[in-house]
Amino acid sequence: MPTRRTVLATAAGVLAGLPVLGSASASLAAPVPAAGSPIPDTLASRIAVGARRKADEARFPLTHLAVGWTGAAEGAAVRIRTAKGWGDWRPLHGCDGGRDGRATARRALLSVPGGVGYEVQLPGAGTVTELNTVDGPTRTTAAATGSSTPLSTRTVGRPYLSRAAWGADESLRFTEDGTERFPAAYFPVQTVTVHHSAGINDDPDPAATMRAIYYDQTITRDFGDFGYHLAIDEDGRVYEGRWSGTDRFPVYGGALGPNGRPQMNNAAHVGGFNAGNVGVVLLGDFTSRQPTAAARQSLVGVLAAIVALGGLDPLGTTNYVNPISGSTRTVPTIPGHRDWAATLCPGDLFYPELPGVRQDVADLIG
């Protein structure tokens, strides 16, 4: 009987014989932690707010700001104060996710390097979580960045950061009494959904942003872990998201499924439609800007690996059935988040490009 590792290796080998979609850049714009470099604790302060809050001085220098609110999606805005003064107001929008069976709240996570204060205005009551993911006391040291992504090593050809490489604090996945907040549950892959994080573009520290997303989704939003399975930064590096097991392969875990293929670990990126639905998020905001060529190339490679492993048709349509709740939805096999819910994700400018992404995936698989 084939093992999960054999199936993964075979699929990666098939993809390895196909043309490489670009190689890793010789000089990447935004650095990531070097092996052995210190990883800090995340500093966090959560505050309940009314429709408006102004904080000239946050409780500590900010790297990120997480804002949640009730009411309409439109009408939320923020401005940030740095050492140079107050910036302009900007609308808040995010990628609203959540675990199956739970209410989905409005949520936005901002990268605010150099931020010392902020002002928010919201359609209703909400919360603000002040975050600093770079200046806390050292918690551990970073694992090495891999030269390629285990899903399809030679095809993706992009650096890969495991949770240990970008600095996930695994203790956050457990309550004080040791209970796992989001226990693993494995299901056959039916679809692979594309998201954007709706954060800043030209992020100077994407690993710090990964730690901010992780804290916000695990603790503030009570997902219990990172909501997406994989993330891709603007340099095309691939990051492990949701914990899936103790081996080196992200996304998958547990026993092989009834079809003899590897199963994904359930996550929290599309409320009500998570089980069997792999989530891949591009770091950045693609409402009025396209992803970089490097990010798109890595996305195509990752999608090709996942659909090949699942025996899926990247140009097809899937009659999705949630194996937990029985909820159904007919969507493209590679949908955008807005194919599932009323959201701007994965960005007004990028969403119309998804048919081309699907074709690129199909061409890569052959």
Assign 3-class secondary structure to 135-170.
CCCEEEECCCCECCCCCCHHHHCCCEECHHHHCCCH
Q: Is the peptide bond before 335 cis (omega within 30 degrees of 0)?
A: no
Can you give the residue ranges of every domain in the chain?
4-36+141-365, 38-132
What integer pLDDT is reported at residue 13 of this predicted model? Answer: 45
Q: What is the CA radius of gyration of the chain?
A: 19
Predicted local distance difference test score (pLDDT) of residue 28: 56
Architecture of the CATH domain 4-36+141-365: 3-Layer(aba) Sandwich (3.40)
Beta bridge partners of residue 161, listed in sequence order: 239
Q: Can you give the pLDDT of all 366 residues of the chain as single tens digits?
A: 444 444 344 444 444 444 343 334 434 578 899 999 999 999 999 999 998 999 999 999 999 999 999 887 788 999 999 999 999 999 998 777 888 888 777 889 999 999 999 999 999 899 999 999 999 999 999 999 999 888 633 457 789 999 999 999 999 999 999 999 999 999 999 999 999 999 999 999 999 999 999 999 999 999 999 999 999 999 999 999 999 999 888 999 999 999 899 999 999 999 999 999 999 999 999 999 999 999 999 999 999 999 999 999 999 999 999 999 999 999 999 999 999 998 999 999 999 999 999 999 999 998
- Using CA atoms, how far residue 279 sits from 8, 275, 364, in Å, is 18, 10, 20
The pLDDT assigned to 7 comes to 39
Any idea which architecture 38-132 has in CATH? Answer: Sandwich (2.60)
End-to-end CA distance of the chain: 27
Residue of 32, 82, 90, 22 whose CA lies nearest to 57:
82
d(CA 114, CA 243): 31
Measured CA angle at 297 (ends 65, 28), to 5 deg: 60
pTM: predicted TM-score of the whole model, two decimal places: 0.92
Q: Tokens in use for 73?
A: 């999606």
Model pLDDT, residue 157: 78
Q: What is the pLDDT of residue 267?
A: 97
